[in-house]
Amino acid sequence: MRVPNVDRCTDRRHIMPARGAQTKPMAAVSLPYPPIEPLRSGMLAVDALHTLYWEESGNPHGVPVVLLHGGPGSGTTPQHRQFFDPAFYRIVLFDQRGAGRSTPMGETRDNTTALLVADMERLRMLLEIDHWLVFGGSWGSTLALAYAQAHAQHCRAIVLRGVFLCTPAEIDWFLHGMGHFFPQAQADLLEGIDASERHALLRAYSRRLFGDDAARRLQAARAWNRYESRCLHLLPHADEPQDAEADAHALAVARLEAHYFLHAGFLEPDQLLRDVGRLHGIPATIVQGRYDVICPPITAWRLQQAWPGCQLQLVDAAGHSAFDPGIQAALIGAMDRYRDLGHFGPAAGA
């Protein structure tokens, strides 16, 4: 598999990469690591309602890395382990509140960004990890930034993909703007929504997703997820299956995304840009698809401009998905570069 236009910097001196976006052709392709199984896993009760699934794989004595999945609500998959060299990294995956194998699935009560950040700290302490590399994409980039700004002293490095700051403008774009590029997907999202409600799709869909009619909830969740999945990749992909398991996942994702969008991510206005100075001294890489319609590159650009020392890596032949070949190769390449530095040193603020 050949992937054009992915930066492949291997200079060991570049612990703090130069400011600016990188679009140089790479010399070699970074392929996924082979599938692996967890070494151990468990369920962590974080309060009386929520219990989180977590797992570890790779090298139990290696450099810890925690992956933050997107959504909110999508959960982790076995393929997420394959971004990391299992001989070097101690790979920590977990499903956030209401997502994946965490219980109860799709639950929005007691589900806020601050609580997710606190959950990460509980998991870090449970696993007796002092410092870890934080790796997150899409909504996972939002949570990664919120966590790192609250606990910079525990972050060795940060790798982000498809940056999303959960601002009202980004949320409006998701629901009302992506139709400029995917008009049929937008038209299908609007189908069944009264003309009087179409100017405020988030409210219209929330009424259906959180209403009492189970059939209407599922119909809305399917439409929401189909819309997002059709805008996810650079090239078209098949629609998601509609079996019972997929329906449960669709309900969880749609309800949790709407929940967080309704509350602007439970963040103050421009909080993640405002507090980016707290990340000074932490090595960081942003991998961004140039044709990412879900999270347009301007957001990653704004973040990088406010964050000296952070490298923005634009991947030309890619959309939003972490599994678009160019994005996948760039993420693996970024993790391999941190591995090849030979050391990580203390976390910022330590």
Give the Cα separation of 147 and 345 in Å (integer): 20
As a whole number of angstroms, the distance between CA 42 and CA 66 comes to: 15
Active site residue 292: yes
Which of 258, 320, 272 lies closest to 294, judged by CA?
320
Catalytic residue status for 259: no
DSSP state of 32: P
Residues composing the chain:
350
Torsion angle of the four alpha carbons 318, 320, 326, 330, in this order, in degrees rounded to the nearest 10: 140
Strand (E) or helix (H) holding 161: strand 155-161
DSSP 51-119: EEEEEEEE-TTSEEEEEE-STTTT---GGGGGGS-TTTEEEEEEPPTTSTTSBSTT--TT--HHHHHHH
Q: Which of 138, 141, 206, 321 is catalytic?
A: 138
Burial string for 275-287 (b: 16+ CB within 10 Å, else e) reads: bbebbeebbbbbb
The CA distance from 35 to 161, in Å, is 21
- Distance separating alpha carbons of residues 314 and 330, to the nearest angstrom: 9
> Is 334:159 a contact under the CB 8 Å cutoff?
yes
Active-site residue, from 249, 259, 320, 324: 320
Q: Are 85 and 31 in contact (CB under 8 A)?
A: no
Instruction: Name the token pair of 149.
Output: 């700004």
For residue 320, indicate whether it is catalytic.
Answer: yes
Residue of 7, 119, 292, 324 with catalytic role:
292
Active site residue ranges: 138, 292, 320
